Amino acid sequence: MALALYRKYRPATFAEVVGQEHVTTPLVNAVDG
């Protein structure tokens, strides 16, 4: 069965998102409350 590329390569955590801190920081803060 073929594996979709987005499932193979997408980051599992916010820490794995490199170079996108301007996006991940507000998201993490919103989730943490």
Name the residue type at position 6.
Answer: Y
Which pLDDT value is given to residue 31? Answer: 92
In contact, 14 and 27? CB cutoff 8 Å: yes
d(CA 31, CA 21): 15
Residues of the chain with pLDDT under 50: none
Task: Tokens 């390569």: give the residue.
Answer: 9
Q: Does the pTM of the predicted model rise above 0.75? A: no
Which pLDDT value is given to residue 29? Answer: 94
Which pLDDT value is given to residue 26? Answer: 94
Which pLDDT value is given to residue 22? Answer: 93
Which pLDDT value is given to residue 2? Answer: 86
In contact, 17 and 23? CB cutoff 8 Å: yes
Which pLDDT value is given to residue 3? Answer: 87
